[in-house]
Structure 1
Amino acid sequence: MMNDPKTGHADAIGADPSLLIVEDDAPFLKRLARAMETRGFTVETAETVAEGVAKAKGRPPKYAVVDLRLGDGSGLDVIEAIRSKRDDSHMIVLTGYGNIATAVTAVKLGAVDYLAKPADADEVFAALTRKGGEKVEPPENPMSADRVRWEHIQRVYEMCDRNVSETARRLNMHRRTLQRILAKRAPK
């Protein structure tokens, strides 16, 4: 295959290596930015929706990695800002809470992929450089059914502003059962 990783990455990236990463988790943002720079991207970063939209409108990137949930709003606003300025951009959405409706919205706005956190640099690079129609490899270690259930409960809990009673009502679950689930660690 490819002996020189720099050349292989440059071939996959193309002539315009501009990449915008919008993420509010500062340590993860720094690690991902460094990893993408070593793979040949010219990286710009933003930690808020406002900063991401401003950078997208000023110099729309060829590639973007955008966190869905940011402190000041939704990363979908950044996706929309990039798409309004540049229709050839390859964008992926990162989130800790998988949600089919949000994934559909992200794709409709122009994202090419949707990755659940924690995504490593290799997964992000593969998603950014994947050609249209190329099949995605099935995950080596997919989430267990217990983990999927736990993630769903956590997402609804967050959407209900961490209100246990409201979350239990929406999930049609007894409040004490929900409290026991929330008190436990995430299943593997």
Structure 2
Amino acid sequence: METIIYMVRHAESPYTEGNERTRGLTLEGKKNAGKITELLKDEGINIIISSPYARAILTVEGLAEALELDIQIFEDLRERHFSDCIITDEEFMPAMKRMFDDPTYALPGGESNTVCQNRSVGVITYILEEYKGKKIVIGTHGNVMTLMMNYFDSTYGWDFLNQTKKPDIYKLFFKDLELKEVKRLWYE
């Protein structure tokens, strides 16, 4: 029995230090969230799940309203915590690359790829078992999405993350807990 998961990376969000959970979408992000609704509304979606962060919820909210579905929130789908320290833009990308080269590496007070992957994969395996045979949208973040996909197929890593967009959509086809195929649905 095939289960389909639509990974929906959140639309563009204004970055404000210290406002991770509550920051919303930019005007462009809101426009693209509407495009996501149009793109997915006829896919036969059964369930909508999201990270607890506002930008992820707002990206799939229009779809939920159009389909008259509630959004289920899973705390463990939240974006990874990078560090307790302020990271400059110059430090961020090299640190991210290092995290993908060494999955156990973490910045001070932050999550490693291994820790973030373990918590988020726990959710996706639950979803695959609980909603077998269904079509499920997951409102998520770039890092979390990449690490979940990487768990099932190691080719999804640093290079994949760097080519994703905000928003982005990947349609994942599963047979039980085995990822069989991935199709990108979002094109600008």
TM-score, shorter chain, exceeding 0.5: no
> TM-score with structure 1 length normalisation?
0.36
Larger RCO, structure (CA 8 Å, separation 6 or more)? 2
> TM-score with structure 2 length normalisation?
0.36
Please identify the structure whose Cα radius of gyration is greater: 1
